[in-house]
Amino acid sequence: MDLKVELQESPNNVLIVDKILSPLVKKLKLALIKYENKIFISPKVPKNLEKFNLIFFVDIDYPISHLVKNSSKKIIFILKTKNKMAEKLAREIHRFYLKNVKIITIADYGLSDEEINNVLWFSFSKSKEILLKISQPLLTGKINNNHPRRSFSKILTQLILHHHFKKTFSIKKILFASFILLFIFHILFFLPLVASSLFLYKGVKNLSNFKITETKNNLSSATYFFNFSKKLYDFPRHTFLLFSVAEPIDNLFQMNEKANLIANQSIAIYENAQEIMKLFLNMNKSFQEKSLLKQRLNKVQDDLENFNENLVFFNQKLPSTFPLLKKAKIELTTATELISKAKQFFPHINNLLAKDSEKKYLLLFANNMEIRPGGGFIGSFGVVTVKDFTLTDIKIYDVYDADGQLLSHVEPPPPIKNYLNQPHWFLRDSAFSPDFADNYSFAKSFLDKEMKMSDFSGGILLTTSSIKYLLSAFNKVYLPDFNELVTADNFYLKAQVYSEKNFFHGSTQKKSFLGSLTRQIIINIENVPILKLVQALKKSLDEKQMVVYFDSPPLEDLVKSLFWSGKIIEPQCPQNLTNCYPDYISAIDANLGVNKSNFFVNRTMELTVSLDQTGYVNNSFVIKFENQAQGDVFPGGIYRNYFQFYIPASAILKQITKDDVLVEDYDVSIDQFKKIGFLFELPPKSSTEIKIEYQSSVKLTKGRAYYQVLVQKQTGSSNNDLTLRIYLPKNVHLLNQNFSPLVKDNLILYNTQLSTDKIFFTELLSE
């Protein structure tokens, strides 16, 4: 093997310290001069060792501790068969962790040329060994056919000594460099893939803030880096396939591609929906614009189908190991649920938007700060007219405009007559059933009698809270008629000021305020991100702050299936199950204090279910009220509540207590449910606790048994805290449930918020 070497410009300074200047010094000097080193010989150790690169101590006992600061120099101790000194030096070297100090022991000073080469080879080598006994030959042999007598150790010595040479050719380095380059080439695709993911992340963040232009730029950059990464991955993929590691990387590419596709589809759907909104609100559409609206609706329907499939696929592939990804999976699940619900309305879109016809929808504005069983006191109402895919008219009326025209007597529900002292029933008090279908029917009847309004195709009840949710999508709305900026935070107070200040029957200020707000919402709706609006609508519907009824049975069945109808649900066990008990509880408030004290009232609920060993179900329902109003000043004051609770019709009522005092004066009626009601008053800055105890009239038998309890939320009520406790006897064991409770011994504990209707289902084994 031929080697090409070149000298360094600055040679090494070598110091040899030998007290007697033995023959070994001369041989070392001659061997080192061959490599153009500067040699310095001294019988004693100089005070300053800084200028020397290599130091030989020949039979010199020099303290190892003095060499710690000279860790950059090579230091060699050559000892003449003084093994005890060698052992001492070795211990000191290990003690101070010195990697630059070595020890060589020799039999005598008359070393051969071969042995001198061994000394130099060991001195300059990077071997971790610190001790060499020169009496044992190192390694000899032929280096090639042209030099049969040159020892291998001599060649190695020359190779090691060229630490001051620069090699221009090395097979090992070429192999190492080739391996590094090959490795880099196999992972190079990660860099643009990471860049693509970062731009995707920025794009999604901008999209969530409805910054469409910025999102498009981010996605464009993400696509560029993704395509570049994919090209770089084509070759190394074959290697990854060979070692069966390609699948996770392929999944990474697939998820990146799907995420990009989903983001682009989101923008397309968003922009199309914005255009649909503009076309729908355009009252003077041409035939071509109507056709375009229908085409866009069909396009959105198709896009949502593909979008949902991609979203489901991406959600399934996304791991939930990290908290950030777990949060993303929850958001994706919520998005798929929203899309799934939106898709269900498209088959009914022609009916809903009155294709080739005209439909009127009744709006009922319920103030849930003065709550009633159906959502709240009806202060205003409106009529929305839709004709052939066009919003043609929307009018807002004050409820007293209608009630002032009622000429016939309508008998009110007993609580209104007895506790509100109203001999007649009016539209404003019509939301007195917890079922919106009943209230919608009552409202239509009143409007027909009062204002000859009829032919409605459906009704929508909106509480004060739902309008607040909708306003959150707008940030702020300016009302030029009132010179007011209305936001989600100040809406209730502004509305209350304009509805109560200087109010008298027949005044128009409340109607004007809501009418002006409605007009400005419609004017500004084109500039509101459609997704924000849809999210606000869904939140209102899910939390029963908005409920809907349609006269069309297919549409009404759809809203019922989505639990958006505000309907009282009769609990039923699944048809294929026997030995099942369907329980039910619903707490219904009716503020009859002629104030808005619900703004200050908090409720918490606890339901304790105890199964006894015979199989009967014993329930204890506790509801706590707290009136946080500071005094008896409007809009707060005494909370005068006609409180009702619904339980199964066959349930056996045991007792009712209020603050541990037995309640004996209450109303009871039985039809679909057993309804118990009574009036109580709660002054400001006070609280009360009501406890209802009842038992099932049937029992669960041995074997597999099922207990189901439906806790139904009142329309318009706040999201109250709910605690569920289920106690099981020793002979009953929990097998399964549809919620995630804390289970300990015989107790099943679950804490939640009653933000919507809740169904708790348990599968039990009774021995």
Half-sphere exposure at residue 672, Cβ-oriented, CA atoms within 13 angstroms: 12
* pLDDT range class, residue 383, cuts 50, 70, 90: very high
How high is the pLDDT of residue 161? 47
Q: Would you state the structure tokens that stand for residue 72, as one six-digit string?
A: 């950059």
Q: Would you state the structure tokens that stand for residue 567, as one six-digit string?
A: 């309907």
Give the mean model confidence (pLDDT) for residues 229-238: 91
Give the mean model confidence (pLDDT) for residues 264-276: 89
Q: Computed from CA positions of residues 309, 312, 318, 323, in that sequence, does the dihedral angle turn out positive or negative? A: positive
Identify the residue whose tokens are 């007219």. 385
Residue-wise DSSP of 292-323: HHHHHHHHHHHHHHHHHHHHHHHHHHS---SH
* pLDDT range class, residue 566, cuts 50, 70, 90: very high
* pLDDT range class, residue 615, cuts 50, 70, 90: very high
Q: Which helix (H) or strand (E) holds 712?
A: strand 703-712
For the segment 501-560, what is each residue's pLDDT rounded down to a tens digit? 544 444 445 557 878 888 888 888 878 888 888 889 999 999 999 999 999 999 999 999
Measuring CA to CA, which residue among 254, 257, 256, 263 is closest to residue 216?
A: 263
Identify the residue whose tokens are 């963040």. 205
* pLDDT range class, residue 80, cuts 50, 70, 90: confident
Q: φ, ψ for residue 114 (rounded to 5)?
A: -60, -40
How high is the pLDDT of residue 509? 54
Alpha carbon distance 681, 696 (integer Å): 30
How high is the pLDDT of residue 71? 72
Fold of 580-766: Immunoglobulin-like (2.60.40)
* pLDDT range class, residue 725, cuts 50, 70, 90: very high
In terms of Cβ atoms closer than 10 Å to its own Cβ (0-12, 13-18, 19+), residue 281 is middle
Cis bond upstream, residue 574 (ω within 30): no
Measuring CA to CA, which residue among 86, 87, 156 is closest to residue 118?
A: 156
* pLDDT range class, residue 86, cuts 50, 70, 90: confident
How do 458-463 and 546-550 pair as beta strands? antiparallel
Fold of 13-164: Rossmann fold (3.40.50)
Q: φ, ψ for residue 514 (rounded to 5)?
A: -65, -35
How high is the pLDDT of residue 510? 56
Span(s) in the chain for CATH 2.60.40.3680: 580-766
How high is the pLDDT of residue 735? 93
Q: Which of 309-318, 346-355, 559-568 has the lowest mean pLDDT?
A: 309-318
Alpha carbon distance 444, 460 (integer Å): 12
How high is the pLDDT of residue 323? 67
In three-state secondary structure terms, 494 is: helix
For the segment 106-163, what is each residue's pLDDT rounded down to a tens digit? 877 778 888 888 888 888 777 777 888 876 444 333 333 344 344 444 444 444 444 4
For the segment 683-713, what is each residue's pLDDT rounded down to a tens digit? 999 999 999 999 999 999 999 999 999 999 9
Alpha carbon distance 386, 400 (integer Å): 25
How high is the pLDDT of residue 757? 95
Report for 238-252, 460-474, 516-530: range of highest mean pLDDT = 460-474
Report for 49-58, 78-87, 168-177, 310-319: range of highest mean pLDDT = 49-58
Separation in Å, CA 232 to CA 182, 406, 690: 13, 79, 70
Span(s) in the chain for CATH 3.40.50: 13-164
